[in-house]
Structure 1
């Protein structure tokens, strides 16, 4: 008789799921979906494109969350039936299938559990990620491109919508910088733990001496705000430059000056946008991103002032958050959480969930949540 006893693990995963569903408050989520569906059905919805985008995006995100939660509950129910069938039929194949499905459900529930720790003001929003190469010459620009691919592959594996907004290619290998958007529920809260300096150590493919090369790249993550109307930007405070979009090695890929670069003179913040086809669209997108950055900067300054007045200035996480070793030991290690992987190829191919989950848990504990 085949022995299949997953009862303790199934009870544990069902209990954790129940806690997640309670925290998420599915009835409230359903009410919000119903309200947004009613707004989305209004015949004059697109008379105000910005407001329409906010409604449709909010509806899409909430529907995805509700669907994912209910799908997990159904999978747990189906798993119990499969386990019972395996026992009754003495079917080893069904038992193996049940074991694999249970492991998959446990991973999904763990991911959902981590998501309940995201309660920041902007955590629910889509994310705008910027990667910039640092010290290290061609190795650094190549590393920046590796990180860009890593995050886009991670998003692809989760079926998240992505849009590359701007890319500045290096003269040699890789990229100087890239900015892209990930539109998914809690994208900002999830990816915000990736912000900081990433370090790569490897035998350089660009040198002839077979020496170890250390290079750096910075990752910035900000929330995408549909409307940053709290920030007024006088025309005299910005400089707008137009240029042609370019491809790798500086090769022109656009015969018109449709790309836009906006410089905010008081702060020195520079926003480039070349994803859209027209100069007007790129300028509008760049202004929205500039407003977002200025709004966040304003809030950071206010928070810093409050801490100063309270006399409780604390150290930040520190810039360097993760090291990637591609020689000898073959290791990726997060310096904050201690989480590591001995499969850097898999990490660069988008296997980031373990690092992200560890980062969110670490942050939650650091804040005393």
Structure 2
């Protein structure tokens, strides 16, 4: 309960755009859903500090509108220490349709020689009952988990390549979770017998909590796998590995609440929710803070608004006692195999 409280009522962020003293020029970043909500706040900072920012999503019109707003930022936003802004580009992927991922990412990879940080940020919450993806997956599971896993699998080679030539701990994946991971199915966060809730009753909030628990579990599992891969080299020497963390950005005023009951949405906006830019700082901390490093190969859980925290106890128990990381990873590999 104490973890739930400290994440709901966090202190002011200490790691912000002002903490990035050096230009991010030459660095490449990928943000799914980077044209709205927390992703927009994050993309704006990365661009302002000189980074090449690739925004992945399905709505090109929304991207163009966000690009206009970002590029209209006053020069004071990116300060005299970083006077030259970076670049923005769009990669069209419909996360509700697994068939769109491979062709788009294959094309993108022909333009990249590195990838420094990938934020798996896009998501849906409290989607209407019966909502599914093109592949008939429960919408929150399909977008928040399966599609991001497929995307990640395609990015692993370039992440490994970049990590091998960079300072240890600087190349990362950030799997965006939520406080709702603490309200995921018992006993270990995933309803493995029926992840799509086709024959099991479950509220939309429970399904959303499951999808956010999956982000924590996958971050932890990839951290283990990335470390193992880094130890395998032709010369037998250890190479820097990709650091994998999960993050709860915070309880924020974003369009994730669009499917929520109007009365509940109004009350929560007034009492419990914070501006989306603060969630951007949480994700910024997870991706760029020097406080995160190779020692965090346990899949560090980052909490609002940029602090190391503790994951839900039941999720942690599942990872330790039931090997849920491997179980989920193997399940998803079979799910996405036809599409990547």
TM over 0.5: no
TM-score by length of 1: 0.27
TM-score by length of 2: 0.29
Higher strand share: 1
Q: Which one scores higher on RCO, CA 8 angstroms, separation ≥ 6?
A: 2
Question: Which structure has the larger Rg?
Answer: 1
